[in-house]
Amino acid sequence: MAAVAVMTVGSPVGGQSAPEVPTGFHAAALVSGPEIAGLNGIVATDDERLLIARGAGATGDSMLVEHDLVTGSTTPLITGLPLAHPDRMLIGAGGSLLGNDLILADHNSNEVSDCCDGRVFRIDLGTLDVTAIATGYPGGGGVGDPFGVAQANGGPFGSDLYVIDFQGASLLPPILYRVFDDGTTEPLVVDNPLWTTTASPKDIAFDPSGSYGGDLFVADEGAADVVWRVTPGGDVSVFAAFARPTAIAFGPGGAFGDALYVLDHVGAESTLYTLTPDGVASVFATGLRSVTADVPDLAFSPTGETLFVAIADEIVAISASSHFRRGDCNGDDSFDIADAVALLSTLFSGGDLPDCDDACDTNDDGGIDISDAVFALSSLFSGGVSPAAPFVECGADPTPDTLGCHAFTGCP
Q: Give the architecture-level CATH label for domain 26-320.
A: 7 Propeller (2.130)
| Chain segment 341-376, per-residue pLDDT in tens | 999 999 998 887 667 888 999 999 888 999 999 999
Between residues 77 and 304, which one has the greater pLDDT? 77
Query: How much of the chain, in percent, has pLDDT values that exceed 90?
Result: 57
| Structure confidence at residue 137 (pLDDT) | 77
Burial (CB count <10 Å: 0-12, 13-18, 19+), residue 387: buried
| Structure confidence at residue 290 (pLDDT) | 83
Q: Distance (Å, rounded) from C-alpha 186 to C-alpha 189? A: 9
Contacts 24+ apart (CB under 8 A), 176-183: 176/201, 176/204, 176/216, 176/218, 176/230, 176/234, 177/138, 179/97, 179/120, 179/133, 179/134, 180/97, 181/95, 181/96, 181/97, 182/96, 182/97, 183/97, 183/133, 183/134
Cβ(241)–Cβ(192) below 8 Å:
no
Cβ(55)–Cβ(147) below 8 Å:
no
Between residues 395 and 281, which one has the greater pLDDT? 281
Query: How much of the chain, in percent, has pLDDT values that exceed 70?
Result: 89
The maximal CA–CA distance of the chain, rounded, in angstroms, is: 74
Report CA 173 to chain centroid distance, whole Å: 28
Contacts of 94 (CB under 8 A, 6+ apart): 100, 159
Q: List the alpha helices (DSSP H) in 204-336.
A: none
Contacts of 117 (CB under 8 A, 6+ apart): 108, 109, 110, 111, 136, 143
Report the candidate in 144, 137, 132 with the shortest Cα–Cα distance to residue 108: 144
3-state secondary structure (DSSP) of residue 244: coil
- Whether pLDDT at 12 is above 50: no
* Band of pLDDT at residue 13, cut at 50, 70 and 90: very low
Cβ(308)–Cβ(301) below 8 Å:
yes
- Whether pLDDT at 412 is above 80: no
146-151 vs 161-165, strand pairing mode: antiparallel
3-state secondary structure (DSSP) of residue 378: helix
Average pLDDT over residues 314-328: 87
| Chain segment 178-190, per-residue pLDDT in tens | 999 999 999 999 8
- The model carries a pTM of 0.82
| Structure confidence at residue 385 (pLDDT) | 95
- Whether pLDDT at 16 is above 60: no
Mean residue pLDDT across the chain: 87
Cβ(151)–Cβ(177) below 8 Å:
no
| Structure confidence at residue 352 (pLDDT) | 79
260-266 vs 269-275, strand pairing mode: antiparallel
- Whether pLDDT at 122 is above 50: yes
Start-to-end CA distance of the chain, whole Å, equals 20
| Chain segment 62-100, per-residue pLDDT in tens | 899 999 887 788 999 999 878 888 999 999 999 999 999
| Structure confidence at residue 79 (pLDDT) | 92
- Whether pLDDT at 11 is above 60: no
Report the candidate in 52, 116, 51, 106 with the shortest Cα–Cα distance to residue 82: 106
Between residues 321 and 97, which one has the greater pLDDT? 97
| Structure confidence at residue 140 (pLDDT) | 62
Which of 46-60, 222-236, 299-313 has the highest average model confidence (pLDDT)? 222-236
How many residues are present in the chain? Answer: 412
- Whether pLDDT at 4 is above 60: no
Average pLDDT over residues 281-300: 89
| Chain segment 368-400, per-residue pLDDT in tens | 999 999 999 999 999 999 999 899 888 877 765
| Structure confidence at residue 6 (pLDDT) | 30
**What are the residue ranges spanned by the domains of the chain?**
26-320, 333-412
Average pLDDT over residues 105-134: 84
Q: Distance (Å, rounded) from C-alpha 329 to C-alpha 148? A: 41
| Structure confidence at residue 292 (pLDDT) | 67
Q: What is the Rg, in whole angstroms, of the alpha carbon atoms belonging to the chain?
A: 22
| Structure confidence at residue 212 (pLDDT) | 97
Average pLDDT over residues 133-146: 77
Contacts of 164 (CB under 8 A, 6+ apart): 146, 147, 148, 149, 174, 175, 176, 201, 202, 203, 204, 218
